Structure 1
Amino acid sequence: MAVFTPVSDDDAHKLLERYTLGELVGLRGITAGIENTNFFLTTTRGEYVLTIFEVLTAQQLPFYIELMHHLAEHHIPVPQPQTLRDGSRLTSLHGKPAIIVTRLNGGYEPAPGPAHCALAGQTLARAHLAGQSFGIRQPNLRGLPWWRDTAPQVLPFLNPEQATLLRQTLDEQIAFAAGDIYPQLPEGPAHCDLFRDNVLFDGTFEMPRMGGIIDFYFAGCDTWLFDVAVSVNDWCIEPATGVFDPERLRAWLGAYAQVRPFAEAERRAWPTILQAAALRFWLSRLYDFYLPRPAQTLKPHDPRHFERVLRERRKALALALP
């Protein structure tokens, strides 16, 4: 369990005094995530999630918090940030920024089928369109500048073949971002981390219902195509190889395109952006694996998974965008 900051029942009682959310019933750590400390928080008035931010600063957080509020106001199923008695939505605990949001129904599907993929694609497209009217701008903090800064830190841990792959892919992404196609890609607020464990479903496997999108704390303004690529690189692959499953990929992209049709520039950029999405998570997993932050218990993901995904994207053409 990735808990960086312990929280006692007494801490939770005192925190709830700042809200009008009722009295504490229960507090339970969430056994997922490596960036924040998360707890399920049950009160006499409902079910919530308490998040303590270990990396992001109070100055960076308004983007994420207000984006969730904005999307919820536009009927996108996301956690609703709760308002304190003083009218703010951000507080602190043990000297770190903290927030309480509503807990959504459902659970994540570890082996999604085409129906799950279609619901995820459709909902992300709706979120992209709703985000167009959001007034705060903040870049994706794990975008190209971060890749450039992080690559030299992880290169000493790689063998020569891996180092060549990283350098070549990064150089190509730098060149692509400076080219003519990239500026034409539609962009705006993006989740940037829409893995299958960040989407909740109700219903049955055969007939799932969307529960909602969670964990917006990697969100930022980026191309929407990058957001799509991050998603399908997780939702629509065979985990052991990184190879796309055509049925799931068609379902995901088709449902997205029904809500927000893809532009011609996006079709041209698709193979390159798929590699960008794989590179981003290979780099972050390398960083977390070889240069971990102190924590009570920390289980970083195996970076070799996204190395395989990146190699697959470089050698095989993906299904064209609809």
Structure 2
Amino acid sequence: MSVYTSVTPEQLDEFLAHFRQIGEARDLQGISQGVENTNYFLTTDRGEYILTLFERVPEQDLPFFLNLMAFLANDGLPVPRPVPDDEGSFLRRLAGKTAAIVTKLPGRTIYYPGVEHCAEVGRVLGRMHRAGQRFPDSRDNPRGPGWWQDTAAALEGDLSPDEWRLLQDELTYQYHNRRVDLPRGVIHADLFHDNALFEGNELTGVIDFYYACSDVLAFDLAIVANDWCIHPDGTLNPYRTRALLKNYNAERPLTSVEEALWPVMLRGAALRFWLSRLWDYHHPRDGELTSTKDPDTFRAILEARRDLPQNAWVGWPKAAE
């Protein structure tokens, strides 16, 4: 969520003329976090919203994201609700880009999640996965194993010998151990703690659905664990991990095969984000307000996951009973 495209007051007024239900603009502030889209806090005389201009997302994928958010919001989940224009469309052009408005949810980001926060995100993620299995549309994961291979090949000249060896070894491991015949459905695919909002210990918002896709559900859970449940050195905090898994399991019980492949999922999730951060670090984009995240953070997480025993799941959910 960086600012790559500036919006003038005149452009904004012309755009909002097609959204009469939300009134006239009072303020527009750029949001610097994230790396994919241009995002603004939009305040009108009738409320607060998020305005997104899509920079790299294929336009044909946008209806999937917005329809998914509307579907989940209608199911009672704490996700932003897309705002239709006067003709009933969620998408319009603004400053040369396709743009959308969604409701701004209450709460704030928790930068140092505790056990209660991890329990809550596990509960909501389990509910979201159950609901998402009823969503009628699907979308392949554009950052799945095929993307891992292609991105690794493109990065070869940018990496140190140690980075290259680690990357090739993990790609080989994932090729031989990752399975696609696990429970699947719609996943968020980017539910880091800065994509969630809390009021106290209550999760009031899950935001930024623009990586959402159809994939292995346990992979989504592993993405969450790798961000919400870690020590500064990248190792997993057992208390937060137990809380996450126990509450997720209460909403959507995992199969014995998912439990057995939990270390593979954790390693794959770490690899995916190490690769994306390596790419953004070595091939940055210009932006008015941008943030590039340190790839070494996920290298450390990947190395820590490679040290996990094969029975890493055993005891985690039940230990919190």
Same fold (TM over 0.5): yes
Map 1:235-274; keep pairs closer than 5 Å.
235-239=228-232, 241-274=233-266
Aligned residue in 2 for 1:70 = 71
**1:168 lines up with 2:147 in the alignment:** no
Aligned counterpart for 1:191 among listed residues 188, 191, 197: 188
Map 1:240-319; keep pairs closer than 5 Å.
241-317=233-309, 318-319=312-313
CA distance in 1, matches of 2:291, 2:251: 37
**1:41 lines up with 2:42 in the alignment:** yes
- Contact 1:184–1:265 (Cα < 8 Å) also in 2: no
Gaps of at least 5 residues in structure 2 are none
Shift of 1:148: 1.1
Gaps of at least 5 residues in structure 1 are none
What does the per-residue CA deviation read over 1:176-208, in whole Å, with 9 as the maximum and x for residues that have no partner? Answer: 34xxxx2431111000001000010012xxxx1
TM-score (norm 1): 0.94
Share of identical aligned residues, percent?
Answer: 45
Map 1:59-98; keep pairs closer than 5 Å.
59-98=60-99
Distance change >3 Å, CA 26–CA 297, structure 1 → 2: closer
- Code of the residue aligned with 1:26 in structure 2: it is D
Deviates more, 1:193-202 or 1:56-65: 56-65
- Contact 1:57–1:97 (Cα < 8 Å) also in 2: no
How well do the aligned residues superpose, as a CA RMSD in angstroms? 1.2
Deviating runs (4+, > 6 A) in structure 1?
A: none
- Code of the residue aligned with 2:22 in structure 1: it is L
CA distance in 2, matches of 1:141, 1:102: 26
- Code of the residue aligned with 2:211 in structure 1: it is F
CA distance in 1, matches of 2:158, 2:105: 40
What does the per-residue CA deviation read over 1:112-171, in whole Å, with 9 as the maximum and x for residues that have no partner? Answer: 100000110100110000111111110111111111110011122222121111011112
**1:231 lines up with 2:228 in the alignment:** no
Aligned residue in 2 for 1:216 = 209
CA distance in 2, matches of 1:9, 1:134: 37
Aligned residue in 1 for 2:7 = 7
TM-score (norm 2): 0.95
**1:127 lines up with 2:128 in the alignment:** yes
CA distance in 2, matches of 1:196, 1:144: 24
Count residues with an aligned counterpart.
313
- Code of the residue aligned with 1:234 in structure 2: it is D
CA distance in 1, matches of 2:277, 2:291: 11
- Contact 2:260–2:313 (Cα < 8 Å) also in 1: no
CA distance in 1, matches of 2:213, 2:253: 21
- Contact 2:81–2:102 (Cα < 8 Å) also in 1: yes
Distance change >3 Å, CA 31–CA 299, structure 1 → 2: closer
- Code of the residue aligned with 1:81 in structure 2: it is P
CA distance in 2, matches of 1:213, 1:13: 28
Shift of 1:107: 0.5
CA distance in 1, matches of 2:7, 2:246: 44
